[in-house]
Amino acid sequence: MKIAVCVSHVPDTATKIKIGNDAKSIDPTDVTYILNPYDEFAIEEALKTKEKLGGEVVVISLGEETNKESIRKALAMGADNGILLKDSGIRDSLSLSKALAEEIKSQGAQLVFMGKQAVDYDNSITGQLTAEFLGYNCVSVVVNLQIDGENIIAEREVEGGKEVVETSIPAIITCQKGLNEPRYASLKGIMAAKKKVIEEKNAMVFENKSEVLQMNKPLGKQAGKIIGNDSSAVPELVRLLKEEAKVI
Amino acid sequence: MPNKILVVLEQRDNNIKKISNEVSKAGFELSQKINCEVEAVIIGGEINDLSKIGNFGIGKVTHLKNIELTKYSSSAYTKSIVEIINEINANIILVGNTSLGKDLAPRIAARLDAGIAVDVIKIETSENNIVATRPVYAGKALIDVKINSEKKVFTLRPNVFNPGESIENNAEIIVKEISSPDLSSKVIEVKKSEGKLDVAEASIIVSGGRGMKEPANFKLVEELAEVLNAAVGASRAVVDAGWRPHSEQVGQTGKTVSPNLYIALGISGAIQHLAGMRSSKCIVAINKDEDAPIFQIADYGIAGDIFEVVPALIAELKK
Ligand SMILES: Cc1cc2nc3c(=O)[nH]c(=O)nc-3n(C[C@H](O)[C@H](O)[C@H](O)COP(=O)(O)OP(=O)(O)OC[C@H]3O[C@@H](n4cnc5c(N)ncnc54)[C@H](O)[C@@H]3O)c2cc1C
Ligand SMILES: Nc1ncnc2c1ncn2[C@@H]1O[C@H](COP(=O)(O)O)[C@@H](O)[C@H]1O
């Protein structure tokens, strides 16, 4: 079976965000880009599935030349092939998902893994959208997965517990922390990945349905007051919570 | 075509969730601003007190009924809601940004080929446009988004839109049976975590970090949570150490929360932790290091030892 993994290339979570000159996006200067943390779970699950069921793992990323770094990381972990869907314009999630769906279709991948969320725009919707465009089933925020022939039993994290979902292939699974422990790339893997050719194609273009008008810094929360350094401050704290903040 | 808002309500175990009141009220207020109709839809078997959604500005609610759909089914929910949207000609769809809403809303958007903005914290109108504000980069920036398609889908962050005082009002209920739902994807079981309040839904959260020293000391966090009727949260450091389950983790790779009160015990306030809780309405930090970054966003802080301060706090609250 052909398995696809979609990965995004995002600012490191420790990055300080500066707003760019266009006032609509961030200033990329001095920003370190990494493989989206949730996509590591997606790659690991794809590799585990291939080890069990056989097949081939293809990694797809839509974006600029630099996205190849994240594709290479996936190759170093053990993925078989990488595809860069070249794109430098502004794309909303709908247009992104349509382009990913086209590529997944042309690859003939019946099982697709994505991260539950890309930590740039924190949308958490690409998997679900892409599945709809493909007519695939989809389970999001998965922390446990069993595949038996065509059948899928997946546990997804919800408020106050987990939902056990029954569905079937073809499907997209979006991966949450807890699903697995992503492997480290071996030295041999890293060397092999360097030699692999990443296929490049232009991403298909679709109309955007939404646009960013403006990006702003959140209103800075003012540091409050330190009201003491031991338990003698407790009565005052409780009074403030009751009378000033009115939260208890 | 005139505007029409559809609010997607959510039930769990047949009870309407609090987020539904918030989304209803937000929908009602938006309908007043842009001068259009608003109604609601809900899927489930029997639903308790459904007409009370009228208290939050909803005059009419369609109940898509099937006992098998008490639990979520992405395929059946998507299909049925899209049918209603087309039937009543709604063009603005509001959904709660919950586990269910996050899964469902993008599917609806895809079927309608509609633009979507998720995790919205503010909806404004200007010159006939709806502008939604939402956090990105883990809350380190905000964007104003405009959707250009005729149909528009928004998910609203829980505990941000104020449902206000409930005004005694009963909504009209229209029941429609769903005869043969598409169950190609369905929830067959819900595994509840031992009857505890979830951080994503709690209005008060008490979180513990590495400063708790060892897992057994979390009984102090639990005790404080109990007197406040709060949920227990945790930093990633203690989740990775296996002291606490991942479901309690707050932060960039955990849950995003915005409770009325967030109490951080022995948490330094790393940027990834702040990402998950900075929009809390009131933040209290107790940490023995007065330079800990958590104090920069705390409303009130005690720069002291948890093991000395927290027992006193519990005692004071029990008074
Ligand atoms: C990609 C990525 C994602 C991440 N996601 C998350 C996330 O989702 N959530 C998250 O929380 N972190 C996340 N982190 C980790 C984050 O960077 C920090 O390492 C983590 O939050 C630290 O946890 P902590 O505050 O409990 O521990 P520490 O930073 O070790 O802080 C412990 C604090 O306890 C105080 N203390 C110690 N003893 C006492 C005492 N007796 N009384 C009072 N105070 C005391 C200390 O002064 C200190 O400030 C992420 C990191 C990365 C790289
Ligand atoms: N540009 C992209 N190229 C390939 N996959 C992507 C891209 N953006 C997002 N994804 C996938 O979609 C998931 C969820 O992203 P999002 O919906 O943006 O939060 C990510 O974890 C990736 O697996």
pLDDT, one tens digit per residue, over B269-318 is 999 999 999 999 999 999 999 999 999 999 999 999 999 999 999 999 99
- Close Cβ partners of B291 (under 8 Å, ≥ 6 residues apart): none
Q: Give the sign of the dihedral formed by CA B200, CA B206, CA B209, CA B214.
A: negative
Asked whether the ipTM of the predicted complex exceeds the cut of 0.85, the reply is yes
With cut-offs at 50, 70 and 90, classify the pLDDT of residue A207. very high
Q: Which residues of A touch B246 (CB under 8 A)?
A: 143, 177-178
For residue B139 and ligand 1, the question of a CB distance below 6 A is answered with no
Choose one of B212, B221, B244, B273 to mutate for the ligand 1 pocket test, by most ligand atoms within 8 angstroms of C-beta.
Answer: B273
Q: What's the CA gap between A141 and B204, in Å, rounded?
A: 24
Q: Give the sign of the dihedral formed by CA A203, CA A140, CA B120, CA B272.
A: negative
- For the record, the structure tokens of B37 come out as 């109709």
Give phi and psi for A63, each to the nearest 5: 160, -150
Substitution target from B191, B194, B272, B287 for chain A, most A beta carbons within 10 A: B191
* Residue in B56, B114, B107, B53 with CA at minimum distance from that of residue B80: B107
Q: Which residues of B touch A230 (CB under 8 A)?
A: 302, 304-305, 308-309
pLDDT at A220 over 80: no
Q: What percent of chain B has pLDDT over 90?
A: 91
Q: What percent of chain A has pLDDT over 90?
A: 94
Q: What percent of chain A has pLDDT over 70?
A: 100
Q: What's the CA gap between B75 and B78, in Å, rounded?
A: 5
Give phi and psi for A229, each to the nearest 5: -130, 15
* Residue in B165, B94, B85 with CA at minimum distance from that of residue B123: B94
